[in-house]
Amino acid sequence: MNFMRVSWGMSALVWFAVLVICCIFWGWPATLVAVLFGLLPDVALVGAFAGEGRLKPSRVRLYNTLHTMIVPIVLLVVGVVVFALTGALDGGFWPIAIAGIAWFVHIAADRALGFGLRAPDGSIIPVGFQLS
């Protein structure tokens, strides 16, 4: 196992712990948001397999878009700011931050398990591998 996969795994575990604490604190509504956004990146996999673990080339862009860290990190940062501005623990609006955390955890867990982005032919690019 390479250093990148271990780092992704540790990050996934830390943020998963934060997610669980948030879901315990805010209850079923937070759990629903967490499950929804935790599964969201894999929407790209529905009906997308071309065989032998490869995606159809037409679905690679959607998969790679949903499995990059840009959107979940933006959601997390915006969510924390909105949460703080709307009262924080005194009734602040938390769903955006929970969505960002759940999405981040999904991608980090994928990376820890070795599932990177997809090459144009639909095959998995292993974590730590650079396309030339």
pLDDT digits (tens, 9 = 90+) for 58-89: 999 999 999 999 999 999 999 999 999 999 98
pLDDT band, very low/low/confident/very high, at 51 (cuts 50, 70, 90): confident
Residue 102 lies in a domain: yes
Residue 7 lies in a domain: yes
Average confidence (pLDDT) over 26-31: 97
What range does the domain containing 7 cover? 3-112
- Given this model, what pLDDT does residue 36 score? 97
Examine the pLDDT at 49 and tell me if it is beyond 80: yes
Q: Length of the chain in residues, anyone?
A: 132
Average pLDDT, the chain: 92
Residue 129 lies in a domain: no
Q: If we measure between CA atoms, which residue out of 49, 43, 67 comes closest to residue 122?
A: 49
Residue 124 lies in a domain: no
Residue 53 lies in a domain: yes
Q: What's the Cα-to-Cα distance from 59 to each of 3, 49, 114, 125, rounded to whole Å?
A: 29, 9, 20, 15
Residue 63 has φ and ψ, to the nearest 5°, of -60, -50
Residue 76 lies in a domain: yes
Residue 63 lies in a domain: yes
The reported pTM is 0.90
Q: Report the first-to-last Cα separation within the chain, whole angstroms.
A: 22
pLDDT band, very low/low/confident/very high, at 113 (cuts 50, 70, 90): very high
Residue 119 lies in a domain: no
Q: What's the Cα-to-Cα distance from 83 to each of 33, 34, 78, rounded to whole Å?
A: 15, 16, 8
Q: Tell me how many domains the chain contains.
A: 1
